């Protein structure tokens, strides 16, 4: 399979960009999952470009408004650009990771495995699912809001790369399952040695951008992936696609917050 076809299939799976020509992109994505960090880097680039565009346009708009009304221009620019960029990320990824976050929250506290399976696959949102999703995305919003303008590019790229690395970690150490979208990824990637390449790629992308902090975040990413695999085993007895999506969202929020608080422009 040529490299361009693989790239198109991976980008189609992780975003709403329709480049894949057939349904085989799912299996291609599973087999080449170790390349997810590269696509994460592209998503981060798109997000940072969108963020800077929002800041530029909103600065112009609020500067114009400030001629007639006194407004907190810098604060409003940060609030609106953060919220709009978060929305862009969620839409760009097709809300599939966000949906996993909601489904994970929906099943928390349920005692019966069959009930958890049914609730996870149902098109419903419980108060627990809504709370978990809103809480995690608020942390993501806060991470974007706290970013120094000059390091936003670095933060978005690193956060998306490591969010994808966290998902790889879940399936790498998880047990294969007989059904569900997570089953395909876990069956192919469980204990697969080539997934170490994902850590190498992540290091070479993030270290030039944020230095030693990349090592700290990669270590945290590994432990989050291990923890989320443990959660998935406890809740579903296997690696779940919903847990993979939730892992992406949680790790992104953690990385953005840590980068915003620790990296100086």
DSSP assignment of 199-259: HHHHHHHHHHHHTTHHHHHHHHHHHHHHHHHHHHHHHHSS--HHHHHHHHHHHHHHHHHHH
Q: Which residues of 46-65 are buried (b: 16+ CB within 10 A; e: fewer)?
A: bbbebbbebbeebeeebeee
pTM of the model: 0.93
Neighbours of 1 (CB within 10 A): 10
What's the half-sphere exposure (Cβ side, CA atoms, 13 Å) at 27?
4
86 has pLDDT over 70: yes
Both structure tokens of 168: 């790889």
Q: What is the pLDDT of residues 210-255, one digit of tens each?
A: 999 999 999 999 999 999 999 988 888 888 888 999 999 999 999 9
156 has pLDDT over 90: yes
Asked if 102 contacts 125 with a C-beta cutoff of 8 angstroms, the reply is yes
Q: What is the pLDDT of residue 153?
A: 94
């Amino acid at each position: 399979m040529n490299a361009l076809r693989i790239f198109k299939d991976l980008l189609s799976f992780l975003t709403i960009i329709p480049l894949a020509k057939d349904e085989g992109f799912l299996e291609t994505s599973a087999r080449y999952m170790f390349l997810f960090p590269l696509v994460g880097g592209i998503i981060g680039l798109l997000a940072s470009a969108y963020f800077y565009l929002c800041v530029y346009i909103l600065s112009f708009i609020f500067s114009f408004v400030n001629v007639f009304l006194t407004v907190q221009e810098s604060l409003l620019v940060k609030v609106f650009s953060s919220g709009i960029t978060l929305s862009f990320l969620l839409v760009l990824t097709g809300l599939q990771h966000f949906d996993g976050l909601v489904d994970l929250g929906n099943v928390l506290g349920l005692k019966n495995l069959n009930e958890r399976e049914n609730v996870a696959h149902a098109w419903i949102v419980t108060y627990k699912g809504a709370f978990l999703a809103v809480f995690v995305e608020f942390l993501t919003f806060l991470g974007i809001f706290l970013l120094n303008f000059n390091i936003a590019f670095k933060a978005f790229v690193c956060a998306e790369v490591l969010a994808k690395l966290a998902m790889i970690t879940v399936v790498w150490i998880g047990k294969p399952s007989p059904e569900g979208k997570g089953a395909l990824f876990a069956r192919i990637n469980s204990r697969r040695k080539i997934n170490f390449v994902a850590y190498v790629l992540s290091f070479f992308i993030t270290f030039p951008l944020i230095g030693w902090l990349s090592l700290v975040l990669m270590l945290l990413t590994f432990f989050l992936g291990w923890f989320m695999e443990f959660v998935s085993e406890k809740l579903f007895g296997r690696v779940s696609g919903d847990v993979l999506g939730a892992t992406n969202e949680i790790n992104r929020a953690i990385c953005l917050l840590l980068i915003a608080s620790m990296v100086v422009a």
